[in-house]
Structure 1
Amino acid sequence: MLRNHGGDVVTNIDVPFVVSFTHRLRQTADVGGDDFAVLTDLLETDADQPAKVLLWVDSHLDAATDETDHFAARLNSKMVDCDRVDLAAPMHRIPGGEACKNSDAVLRQLLQLINEHDMDRRSYIVVAGGGAVLDVAGYAAAIAHRGIRLIRLPSTTLAQADSGVGVKNAVNQFGKKNWIGTFAVPWAVINDAAILQSLPDRDFRSGLTEAIKVALLKDPELFRFIRDHADAIQRRDEAICTEVIARSCRLHLDHITLGGDPFESLEARPLDFGHWSAHRLEPMTGYELRHGEAVGIGVALDTLYSARKFGLPHGTAIEVCHTIASIGAPIWCSAIDDVDAVLKGLEEFRQHLGGRLTVTMLRDIGVSINVHEIDVDVMKSCIEELRELSAIAH
């Protein structure tokens, strides 16, 4: 027993410890068809009992007129017929899009389903949907019983290339993105090709801005591949897009699992390159602007700023803006006309991370830096340049 000079017992104890996680990622051609066993192989149970499962799907996935052909119906049918799955309730539809993260009612309903069907910490929630649906479902799974096993089937290019493998689960509050949430490692993520087939062109193309973002941060070769195949991406060439998604997903996964800061406790958050303005633009447009579209605009803007301030070749910045536009994503929206309102995103971004402002910028493709001050006059000038580039692109 330790005592100080006054004879009092000293009780300060610091014990660092490490918690082991496994992040399971699978890539399939059709998990609702021939690759269904990939999903069932992930369902670990005791004593050869079937796994207790709730199936939740994005309403956008369940909107096809042919009930026998669309992804949600096929996956549900497979689960109903599988003796390794104890489907605890009929398939539940979650309203797709950002609105599901703005409503307390959606979260409460999901928690009620977990409670009504006696799900426990060795049960599974399988959720198929876009990033917003994955967020609210993941948050419900993370806080019920302090964690129910979650298997994500991202249904958008955006979620497959980026957020689907993340460890963030969140909902919106106070007009701010992801203000309420938690970090929880999903039990597994399945990136399926067939699930993307019904995705509208607008969402398919703009979702790949996250692949451009991570390529700019970490992989010049991937950026060149996207640049050189931008027209094929716009046409939704399956082979090209599958490769881009797979490479982007792996870069995101490696950053999360090997980067030393999976739960974002440090001041820097490099994977949020371009996001300070993106997160501001979404609520400014009433979420009419897709997240991928907002990210594309934010990446274009911060790339131009990096060229003005940190030595990124200006020609490279123009090339990045052209590439974003060439895959079919916008590099401008009318909300940016309210420049002062957009710039409020810097303070919101600082608050969200905590501590001093830390924004990731580029010295070159694959060479990022963290900065703590933004020259507002230069940023305003970059906004004007982006306006001009957008006019040329369209």
Structure 2
Amino acid sequence: MNTLEVKLGNRSYPIYIDSGLFNNRDLLSKHIRSQRVCIVSNEIVAPLYLAQIKLALSAFDVDEVILADGEAEKNLANFEHIMSHLLAGNHGRDTTLIALGGGVIGDITGFAAACYQRGIDFIQIPTTVLSQVDSSVGGKTAVNHPLGKNMIGAFYQPKAVVIDLASLNTLPIREFNAGMAEVIKYGILGDGEFFNWLEQHIDAIQQGDVAVLTQMIERCCQCKANIVAEDETEAGVRALLNLGHTFGHAIEADQGYGKWLHGEAVATGMVLAAKLSVAMNLLEVSDLRRIEALLSAFDLPLQAPENMGFNEFICHMRRDKKNLAGKLRFILPTAIGKSEINDDVSEDLLQQIL
């Protein structure tokens, strides 16, 4: 078993990576401090893994909340549903929430944990590539609002992240490929050697080579852990992890949550950010082509929706969380493995790109 640590002083926590961890009773139980446990999952993941997790937790008093599947379910109504379940079940401050699912489940469960009785413990058990390499690590929790993605949330760290690679065996190919956008993001924003490695291992990744997937997920988690340890609340360098997200979140909000998967929107967002960098003479065209080629290898979209133009994008981007003093801020790649925060993008240039 590979074990990493997110180093945040007395709020530090481990990330476990291996196959078969859902059956590891000792691993899960050592991060639970009382008898009460509530598992939050969805109608797709629960039939696959809920019974397995409950068996591993048979020594505890376990109940569950099962939500519908999809990004559209990461909303205030389901947040209230989780809260009502906890209150009706007389759950106390010593209850541990467990997020069993992808990024949607992890985000809404973490936000519920942050808010219920002013904060209770939670454990992340991510079951998608995207949640394993990105959203389960770092303590960003949130729900969506019709006017903007992840606009209602909190920074709240889990007690542990348990990544069972076997869960990827049941992941649909579209979901797998969407997660690869976040993997590729790490290579573009700060790890050129990893980007090269990904180019060299496309076939092995697509074939589900366990050793290769383990190495890939561990490298992403280590990169995320290092950045979070340096900048937990996104006051500086952590903003680089939003590469592609300014454009991507606009696509998701405009098109309706779930029509585009998050990773698909981020993939297109990274291409648009790279094109913006090329137009500003910050990035070589050859690097843009490499980015496009690697994303294309995983069937990720490179073009914005046909029904989205400048006006649709700018409406959503003006509400982006990274903006300061009313100025749009973008994460722009300046080379494969380098990126920067830039608030000097003219709307005229942005309109040309879009």
With normalisation by structure 1, the TM-score equals 0.81
SS at match of 1:269: helix
Shift of 1:208: 1.4
Instruction: Verify the 8 A CA contact 2:189 2:337 in the aligned structure 1.
Output: yes
User: CA 1:144–1:292 in structure 2 vs 1: closer, same or farther (change >3 Å)?
Assistant: same
Structure 1 position 238 matched with structure 2 position 210:
yes
Shift of 1:352: 5.3
SS at match of 2:287: helix
Shift of 1:330: 1.7
2:61 alignment partner, one of 86, 89, 98: 86
Counterpart CA distance in 2 for 1:19 and 1:36 is 26
Counting aligned pairs with the same residue, the percent is 27
User: CA 1:267–1:209 in structure 2 vs 1: closer, same or farther (change >3 Å)?
Assistant: closer
SS at match of 1:330: coil
Structure 1 position 176 matched with structure 2 position 148:
yes
Structure 1 position 263 matched with structure 2 position 233:
yes
Two-structure CA RMSD over aligned residues (Å) = 2.2
User: CA 1:171–1:203 in structure 2 vs 1: closer, same or farther (change >3 Å)?
Assistant: same
Question: Match of 2:51?
Answer: 73
SS at match of 1:236: coil
Question: Match of 1:278?
Answer: 248
Counterpart CA distance in 2 for 1:267 and 1:211 is 18
Shift of 1:178: 1.0
User: CA 1:36–1:336 in structure 2 vs 1: closer, same or farther (change >3 Å)?
Assistant: farther
Shift of 1:193: 0.6
1:96 alignment partner, one of 46, 60, 69: 69
User: CA 1:123–1:274 in structure 2 vs 1: closer, same or farther (change >3 Å)?
Assistant: same
Shift of 1:333: 4.4
Shift of 1:142: 0.7
Instruction: Verify the 8 A CA contact 1:277 1:343 in the aligned structure 2.
Output: no
SS at match of 1:197: helix
User: CA 1:186–1:98 in structure 2 vs 1: closer, same or farther (change >3 Å)?
Assistant: same
User: CA 1:347–1:143 in structure 2 vs 1: closer, same or farther (change >3 Å)?
Assistant: same
Structure 1 position 321 matched with structure 2 position 296:
no
Cα displacement string for residues 239-262 of structure 1 (whole angstroms, at most 9, x for unaligned residues): 3233222211111111001x2x21
Shift of 1:299: 0.7
Counterpart CA distance in 1 for 2:90 and 2:10 is 27
Q: Which runs of 4+ in 1 moved over 6 A?
A: none
Counterpart CA distance in 1 for 2:197 and 2:54 is 37
Structure 1 position 52 matched with structure 2 position 36:
yes
User: CA 1:336–1:234 in structure 2 vs 1: closer, same or farther (change >3 Å)?
Assistant: farther
5 Å matches for 1:25-40? Answer: 25-33=15-23, 35-40=24-29
Task: Give ranges in structure 2 of 5+ residues lacking alignment.
Answer: 1-7
Question: Match of 1:22?
Answer: 12
User: CA 1:305–1:159 in structure 2 vs 1: closer, same or farther (change >3 Å)?
Assistant: same
SS at match of 1:32: helix
Task: Give ranges in structure 1 of 5+ residues lacking alignment.
Answer: 1-17, 64-69, 384-394
Higher relative contact order (CA 8 A, sep 6+): 2
Question: Match of 2:45?
Answer: 61
Instruction: Verify the 8 A CA contact 1:360 1:371 in the aligned structure 2.
Output: yes
144-153 or 222-231, which deviates more: 222-231
Structure 1 position 42 matched with structure 2 position 28:
no
User: CA 1:59–1:353 in structure 2 vs 1: closer, same or farther (change >3 Å)?
Assistant: farther
Look at both structures and tell me which one has the larger radius of gyration over its CA atoms: 1
Cα displacement string for residues 359-386 of structure 1 (whole angstroms, at most 9, x for unaligned residues): 2212222222221122344444444xxx
Counterpart CA distance in 2 for 1:236 and 1:25 is 21
Aligned partner letter, 2:78: V
With normalisation by structure 2, the TM-score equals 0.90
User: CA 1:317–1:181 in structure 2 vs 1: closer, same or farther (change >3 Å)?
Assistant: same
Structure 1 position 331 matched with structure 2 position 302:
yes
Question: Match of 1:223?
Answer: 195
Question: Match of 2:5?
Answer: none
Aligned partner letter, 2:12: T
Shift of 1:19: 7.2
Q: Tell me the number of residue pairs that the alignment of Structure 1 and Structure 2 aligns.
A: 345
